[in-house]
């Protein structure tokens, strides 16, 4: 109904004051109707394929044996050996990831029909090839995670590219799968990283904390790479070792985050990221994770997606957010900011 017609109807019914009241009610109803119509049209297409309301992406970090030979971080903070002296209990702390952590995680994911992406450090794959194969044979994705814990942010462009290539090669040799997703150790790589990843044929990376939905970074006029965002809040390392959370505190935080994102997912594209590490899949932590997974599986439209599948979808979808690399990293000069703007390149 038009504004003028509403006003005329109100005047006929009983004067200007009554007309104003009717006008407000009618306009409110019109706005509500339009919003419902728009929402219905949006839901008809959906923000995700196959009726998915919101995907959950789980990162399983396979790092056992890739930690520094001396001075590796661990919960054992007293009587730490001096530099250059092997720390025997810390070595076993990391080894737990392959003797107990990953087998426990794989068994749980199999029972619950959950698919994950495993970010594999090269040294871990080299030292424990059977573990790497078991992850892929269980149907999960193998992604790259650097060769070891060397600091990538200070590498030259050539050093970084060589390190990543070595990581990709060992994963392919052991598992038969070519990694097309990347996560730098500690999330920190050099300013050349996206250029290197594109040059090496990667489809996506996860070292980005700027959104709660995946998006695409335009490297230049011709090249782009998907971002499937990582998480540091819903991350067992930060929860247990950084903030000293109890298992129940992490479970409650995961539920709160899920509930908020699930609600938002009714009107915009959302996804949820969770990160777990091989050595931290202790019995109590696994129980906490299973309680959370069973909780979200009760919700309609929740899907556990591998990162490669998320990247495939958003790269093809015309509604995906696309931003030039110079917008994503605005404080780094000289990066591509779109046609007619600053030059491309690091």
User: Taking the model in full, what pTM does it have?
Assistant: 0.84
Q: DSSP readout, 71-119?
A: S---S--SSPPPTTS--HHHHHHHHHIIIIIHHHHHHHHHHHT---EEE
Least confident among 41-45, 194-198, 227-231: 41-45
Cα–Cα distance for residue pair 54/258, rounded to 1 Å: 10
Mean pLDDT of 152-177: 97
Report residue 161 as tokens. Answer: 């590219």
Kindly state whether residues 16 and 133 are assigned to the same domain.
Answer: no
What's the structural domain count of the chain?
A: 2
When pLDDT is averaged across residues 41-61 and rounded to a whole number, the result is 84
End-of-domain residue from the set 26, 45, 64: 45
CATH number of the domain that 171 lies in? 3.20.20.370
Q: pLDDT digits over 232-285, tens only? A: 999 998 888 877 888 889 999 999 999 999 999 999 999 999 999 999 999 999
Average pLDDT over residues 95-119: 98
Residues 208 and 141 in one domain: yes
**Of 314, 246, 325, nearest in space to 57 by CA:** 314
Q: What digits encode the pLDDT tens for the residues 52-63?
A: 999 999 999 999
First-to-last C-alpha distance (Å) of the chain? 56
Q: Which domain holds residue 239?
A: 54-328
Structure token digits, residue 195: 């250029």
What's the pLDDT score for residue 76? 86
Query: Does one domain contain both 219 and 199?
Result: yes
What average pLDDT is seen over the chain?
Answer: 88
CA quadruple 128, 134, 136, 141: dihedral sign: negative
> Are residues 323 and 200 located together in one domain of the fold?
yes
pLDDT of residue 42: 44
Query: Are 13 and 110 found together in one domain?
Result: no
Q: pLDDT tens-digit profile of 281-300?
A: 999 999 999 999 999 999 99
Question: Nearest-CA neighbor of 287 among 133, 111, 43, 120?
Answer: 111
Name the band, by pLDDT with cuts 50, 70 and 90, for residue 112. Answer: very high
């Amino acid at each position: 109904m038009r504004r003028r017609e509403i006003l005329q109807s109100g005047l006929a019914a009983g004067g200007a004051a009554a007309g104003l009241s009717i006008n407000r009610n009618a306009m409110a109803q019109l706005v509500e109707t339009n919003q419902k119509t728009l929402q219905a049209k949006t839901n008809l297409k959906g923000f995700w394929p196959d009726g998915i309301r919101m995907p959950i992406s789980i990162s399983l970090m396979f790092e056992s044996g890739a930690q520094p030979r001396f001075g590796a971080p661990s919960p054992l903070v007293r009587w730490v050996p001096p530099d250059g002296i092997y720390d025997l209990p810390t070595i076993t702390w990391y080894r737990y990831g392959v003797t107990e952590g990953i087998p426990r995680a794989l068994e749980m994911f199999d029972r619950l029909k959950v698919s994950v992406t495993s970010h594999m450090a090269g040294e871990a794959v080299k030292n424990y090839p059977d573990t790497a194969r078991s992850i892929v044979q269980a149907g999960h994705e193998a992604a790259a995670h650097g060769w070891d814990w060397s600091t990538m942010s200070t590498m030259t462009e050539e050093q970084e590219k060589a390190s990543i290539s070595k990581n990709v090669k060992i994963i392919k040799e052991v598992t038969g799968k070519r990694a097309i997703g990347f996560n730098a150790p500690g999330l920190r790589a050099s300013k050349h990283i996206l250029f290197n990843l594109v040059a090496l044929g990667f489809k996506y990376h996860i070292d980005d904390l700027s959104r709660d939905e995946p998006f695409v970074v335009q490297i230049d006029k011709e090249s782009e790479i998907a971002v499937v965002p990582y998480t540091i809040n819903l991350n067992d390392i930060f929860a247990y070792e950084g903030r000293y959370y109890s298992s129940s505190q992490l479970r409650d935080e995961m539920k709160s985050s899920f509930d908020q994102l699930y609600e938002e997912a009714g009107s915009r594209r959302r996804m949820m990221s969770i990160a777990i590490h091989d050595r931290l899949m202790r019995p109590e932590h696994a129980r906490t994770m299973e309680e959370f997974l069973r909780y979200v599986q009760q919700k309609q439209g929740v899907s556990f997606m591998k990162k490669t599948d998320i990247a495939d979808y958003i790269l093809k979808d015309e509604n995906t957010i696309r931003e030039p690399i110079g917008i994503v990293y605005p404080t780094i000069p000289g990066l591509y900011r779109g046609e007619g703007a600053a030059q491309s390149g690091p």
